[in-house]
Amino acid sequence: MKKNADLLGMCFALGPEDAVYLVGRVPVDRVDGEELDRIVGGSLAYTDACFPTAMSLGYEGKYRRRPVSPPAPA
């Protein structure tokens, strides 16, 4: 949960069934195409950055990170 301090406009939270959610709140008058693009991009980036670590912590011994694939030849 220390990661919450670094997230812009979003935070991780526990739901009623102890699931982890990425939560964001934006005033409706600020929602436009640019803001939606920022929200979707941010949520994807935060999820990609945090999911492997969260799964490793939550399911120690059951979750294995995939090896990083080398870039495809040009």
Provide the mean pLDDT of the chain: 82
* Alpha carbons 47 and 14: distance in angstroms, whole number: 15
Confidence label for 19 from pLDDT (cuts 50, 70 and 90): confident
Of the candidates 40, 16, 5, which has an alpha carbon nearest to the alpha carbon of residue 26? 40
φ, ψ of residue 23 in degrees (nearest 5): -115, 135
CA atoms within 13 A on the CB side of 67: 3
For the chain, give the percent of residues with pLDDT over 90. 9
Q: What is the pLDDT of residue 26?
A: 86
Confidence label for 41 from pLDDT (cuts 50, 70 and 90): very high
Q: Is the pTM of this model over 0.75?
A: no
